[in-house]
Amino acid sequence: MKQKIHPIAGALAFFIIAGFWFSTVAVELFGTEAQVIAVKSSIPWGFLVLVPAMAAVGGSGFSLAGKRRGGVLGAKARRMPIIAANGVLILIPAALFLAAKAKSGEFDSTFYLVQTLELFAGATNLTLLGMSMRDGLRLKGRLRRKAKV
C-alpha cells in the first residue's frame, strides 16, 4: 500500500505547489486585482489537501526506506526536512499573510516583498520535490541516468 501512496502523494503535493506557484505568477502578470484576490484567497484552502499529502509522502518514504540511508535514499531523506521547514516556516505563513493582505486590498511594498519571498521559496520546494521524484523514478528503474560522454 505504501508503495502506491508514496508516489501518488508526492505527485499530488508537487502539482498542488506548482499550481499555487504558476497561478500566482500568471495572475500577478496578467490578472486583475480581483483575480489576484481570488487566487491569494484560494491558496490557503489548498493546504487542506497539500499538508496531508506532504505528511503521507514523508511518512511513507521514511517507512519504505527502512534503515537504509545511503545513496539516493539518503539524498531524498536529506531533502525532506528542508522541504518541510520551507513550507512550515515560510510558505504557509506567507500564503496566510498574503491572503489577508489581498482580501483587505493592501497591495503595498510589504505584500510584494512577501510575494517575492514566497515565489522563491515555492520554486525551491518545486526543485527539491522534482529532484526527489527523479530519484524515486531512478530507484524504481523507470528513469535511467544519461550516459556520460
For 33-47, what is each residue's pLDDT tens digit? 999 999 999 999 999
Alpha carbons within 13 A on the beta-carbon side of 91: 27
For 125-138, what is each residue's pLDDT tens digit? 999 999 999 988 88
Grid cell of 71 as nine digits: 545513496
Q: Which residue has the cell 499538508?
A: 51
Contact 29, 41 (CB under 8 A): no
Q: For position 149, what pLDDT does the model report? A: 47
Closest by CA to 92, choosing from 84, 104, 82, 81, is 84
Cα–Cα distance for residue pair 65/71, rounded to 1 Å: 11
| pLDDT at residue 58 greater than cutoff 60 | yes
For 61-94, what is each residue's pLDDT tens digit? 888 887 777 788 888 888 999 999 999 999 999 9
Q: Going from the N-terminus, what domains does the chain have, and what CATH number goes with each? A: 2-139 (1.20.120)
DSSP 106: -
> What pLDDT band is residue 148 in, cutting at 50, 70 and 90?
low
